[in-house]
């Protein structure tokens, strides 16, 4: 699945997702954010950054081997905090909500927003145009 989204502030996000590709990266999941000052690649366990001044500037020449190790120019973001298993944390939040009526942010409306986004993605594809995501309420 491929999606291009225009977010608040004019930010363009391109999202690709597939379970049908062979892994040729550090992690099974990765999220890359590119900006004018640099980039960040976050996975399930690690995050790496590259400032624009550290970005290699190769000259394209298909007649000679590439001398750059592009992975070498990325820096690890330090682990300053240990995080518990995300699935466990969310289940605990849900169980506290059921047993003690604590707030739970992932209600039926939030699920409906996900369905709405998927349906609008199909509409955008079918009509070959951008579509707005209207506010959804009960």
pTM of the entire predicted model: 0.72
Same domain, 41 and 74: yes
**Based on the domain organization, do 34 and 68 belong to the same domain?**
yes
Residue 78: predicted pLDDT: 95
Residues 20, 67, single domain; the answer is yes
Element (H, E) at 42: strand 38-43
59 with 100, same domain? no
Q: What averages of pLDDT result for each successive group of 10 residues across the chain (138 residues)?
A: 87 83 80 92 91 92 91 94 92 97 94 96 96 92
Note the pLDDT of residue 74.
96
Residue 37 lies in domain: 1-79
What's the pLDDT score for residue 63?
95
Whether 50 contacts 73, CB under 8 Å: yes
Whether 73 and 100 share a structural domain: no
CA dihedral 25→125→133→138, nearest 10 degrees, is -100
Residues 126 and 59 in one domain: no
Number of domains making up the chain: 2
**How many whole angstroms separate alpha carbon 99 and alpha carbon 91?**
12
pLDDT of residue 30: 84
């Amino acid at each position: 699945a491929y999606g291009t989204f225009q977010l608040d502030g004019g930010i363009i996000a391109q999202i690709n997702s597939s379970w049908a590709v062979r892994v040729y990266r550090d992690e099974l999941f990765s999220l890359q954010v590119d900006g004018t000052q640099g980039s960040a690649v976050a996975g399930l366990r690690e995050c790496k950054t590259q400032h624009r001044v550290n970005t290699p500037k190769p000259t394209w020449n298909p007649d000679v081997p590439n001398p750059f190790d592009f992975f070498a120019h990325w820096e690890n973001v330090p682990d300053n905090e240990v995080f518990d298993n995300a699935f466990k944390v969310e289940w605990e939040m849900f169980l506290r909500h059921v047993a003690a009526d604590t707030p739970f942010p992932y209600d039926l409306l939030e699920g409906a927003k996900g369905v709405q986004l998927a349906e609008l993605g199909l509409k955008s594809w079918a009509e070959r145009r951008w579509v707005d995501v209207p506010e959804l309420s009960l």
